[in-house]
Structure 1
């Protein structure tokens, strides 16, 4: 049985990280989203939670095709959570490497960095596990969370803020880290994608961290057009690294405005650190999950009704001249099925009872009229060809779905 958290219905657990568990969920509109439920050791740290509350408002302004936008948040109660766009795909850490289309990956990651940095957000934990590959396009997830929760008490509680091998040297040395640290992580992530190897080797975290600070990265096998750029990104001197805008310029990414415009809240987070639930698309009551599902079922039913009506009309029109009995049988069977559905709707108490009955009756009349119209205009052979094509397309659609 599914579990509810606020207005969200949690469907299944997708995974877990240092800061929380991620669940696939449905919002009140019936859309899939990703809900990150924070771990108890994070929620027990009042200072870290307050810092996250301050940062979430900024994180919500980050938008673009290569970032999983923060849609909603509730940092009150026993189970604080963040809601982001659900990205269907696999993390870069789980796909075959080297990645064949490195330029596409590099351009997408540079675009994501620019989107975050233009909004004033530092990811702080960019790595292959936080890059989802959706049909070949990279989408960065979990941006800003590690930066917001980087406090001594949270770290001591067991959450590792960042991953050695992808963290910049200044972060590992405890110095102040800004957007330049994300550029280092960008370089390390692309180096892994280009070679299939960790750029600073494997082993204990302390050994990897030592190599990051004192050794050069392993870039053997990286294409030359990318290797020169990665060497700059992986410089131990933050000032020597290019900015996100410079990365986009060198990779040919078109600069566009990616900052989402979020309506101002009545109370600032500085006055109220307990983040309220933000509801995207305000302006009217939100539907319940049950109502959203009913609307989705009705939409699917109408599509099947129309599609099957068109197909039956084609078959009946093709059979009208050589086999009139078959043509009449097809129309009668379709009409009987649809009228039965209308009768069920008549005695039901669903939200769409009236519109369902009207749609059913119109579909029957439309199928009969279309049959006679097609038979009058097209030959039997042409209609049979149309019907066969429609059948093949329908089968392919069902298999792909």
Structure 2
């Protein structure tokens, strides 16, 4: 049964990380989002939550097709949570490597870094597990969370701030870390995608961290066009690493619009009314006319730590990008020099009730197809020896399907036409299958098929 968390209906658990548990959810308009519920030991750290609340407005300024935008947050409740765009895909750590289209991946990650750094956000936990692959395109998730929650109490409670092998040497040594640390993680992530190997090997975290600080990365097998750039990204000296803007230029990617100062290391500024400063981003400012806007399209307001009303059907969150490019349309922005963001223009209102009806219809259709296959198989097996049984099975299935179609005819379901078509199609398909199997297969063979299908069906039902 689905659970309600604020204005969001939790549908299923997607996974768990160092800071929270991620759920697929529906907002009040029936759109899918990802809700990250912070772990209890993280939620118990008041200082970390205060810092995260201060950074959420900055994180919400990050926009682009290669980042999972932060849409909403509620941090002063019993179960604090963040809401981001839902990205349907698999993490880079779970897809076959080496990656086939490495250039596409490199450009997408460079664009994501540029979008984050220009908005004043440092990811600091960029790694294959935080890069979702959606139709071959990379989308970076969880940006800014590790940076904002980097406190002694949270770390001591069990959350690891970053992953050795992808963390920059200055982070491992406890020095001030800025955007250069993300560039290092970018290089390590691409090295893994290009070779299928961890650039600093495997083993205990302490051993991997030692190799990061004292050894050169393993870049054997990286294509020649990429190896020199990755070697620069993985330099020990942060000042020797390229910027995100240069990465975009080298890889032919589109850099984020200028006008916002890049985050610097080691400073922390509290937010004031109307502005928000990232704790690791120092003096990062939004570009002109770029302050974070509530979803309703009203004037900019500072983030209060409370959940905001979900976006309505007439004003979508800027930069909300669903899975299919066909759903994307440009949106005019106030800054004429800024890149246009893109928003979702849905074909119609999809409420939670409609989503549940759609799901029930899908399950019913699957059962109808399975029942038709099984009935046609049994009827064909009984055709020669027990023709009356064969006729009874076909008649019973036909009458049941017609009755279901009649119920659909008088129902108010938005999918009643599909339901009626499925019932009539199942009747015709079952008859064709029965004739084909009884014509081309012997009764003995069909009986074996029927018994096997019955056993498999029983096992499947018991396991489900």
Which TM-score applies when normalising by structure 2? 0.62
Q: What does residue 117 of structure 2 align with?
A: 117
Q: What does residue 137 of structure 1 align with?
A: 137
- Whole-Å Cα distance in 1 between the matches of residues 356 and 100 of structure 2? 43
- Whole-Å Cα distance in 1 between the matches of residues 104 and 300 of structure 2? 41
- Secondary structure in 2 aligned to 1:224? coil
User: Shift of the alpha carbon at 1:2?
Assistant: 1.0
Q: What does residue 150 of structure 1 align with?
A: 150
Matched positions, count: 312
Q: What does residue 344 of structure 1 align with?
A: 410
Alignment of 1:1-400 (within 5 A): 1-255=1-255, 257=257, 262-263=292-293, 268-269=302-303, 272=304, 274-277=305-308, 279-281=310-312, 289-290=351-352, 293=355, 344=410
Question: Are the counterparts in 1 of residues 170 and 177 from structure 2 also a CA contact under 8 Å?
Answer: yes
- Secondary structure in 2 aligned to 1:231? helix
User: Shift of the alpha carbon at 1:280?
Assistant: 2.8
Any idea what the Cα deviations from partners look like across 1:151-193, whole Å, max 9, x if unmatched?
1110011100000000000000101111110000000000011
Aligned alpha-carbon RMSD (Å): 3.1
User: Shift of the alpha carbon at 1:288?
Assistant: 9.5
Question: Are the counterparts in 1 of residues 130 and 140 from structure 2 also a CA contact under 8 Å?
Answer: yes
Question: Are the counterparts in 1 of residues 26 and 352 from structure 2 also a CA contact under 8 Å?
Answer: no
- Secondary structure in 1 aligned to 2:226? helix
Higher helix share: 1
Question: Are the counterparts in 2 of residues 67 and 139 from structure 1 also a CA contact under 8 Å?
Answer: yes
Any idea what the Cα deviations from partners look like across 1:294-322, whole Å, max 9, x if unmatched?
8979xx9xxxxxxxxxxxxxxxxxxxxxx
User: Shift of the alpha carbon at 1:290?
Assistant: 4.2
User: Shift of the alpha carbon at 1:267?
Assistant: 5.2
Question: Are the counterparts in 2 of residues 117 and 244 from structure 1 also a CA contact under 8 Å?
Answer: yes
- Whole-Å Cα distance in 1 between the matches of residues 40 and 301 of structure 2? 27
- Whole-Å Cα distance in 2 between the matches of residues 134 and 117 of structure 1? 23
- Whole-Å Cα distance in 2 between the matches of residues 201 and 290 of structure 1? 46
- Whole-Å Cα distance in 1 between the matches of residues 238 and 200 of structure 2? 18
- Whole-Å Cα distance in 1 between the matches of residues 15 and 355 of structure 2? 25
User: Shift of the alpha carbon at 1:88?
Assistant: 0.9
**In 2 relative to 1, CA 49–114 (structure 1 residues): closer, same or farther, beyond 3 Å?**
same
- Secondary structure in 2 aligned to 1:111? helix
Moved more, 231-240 or 68-77: 68-77
- Whole-Å Cα distance in 1 between the matches of residues 93 and 212 of structure 2? 20
User: Shift of the alpha carbon at 1:71?
Assistant: 1.1
Question: Are the counterparts in 2 of residues 53 and 275 from structure 1 also a CA contact under 8 Å?
Answer: no
Q: What does residue 379 of structure 1 align with?
A: none
- Whole-Å Cα distance in 2 between the matches of residues 85 and 290 of structure 1? 17
Q: What does residue 377 of structure 1 align with?
A: none
User: Shift of the alpha carbon at 1:276?
Assistant: 3.5
**In 2 relative to 1, CA 290–194 (structure 1 residues): closer, same or farther, beyond 3 Å?**
closer
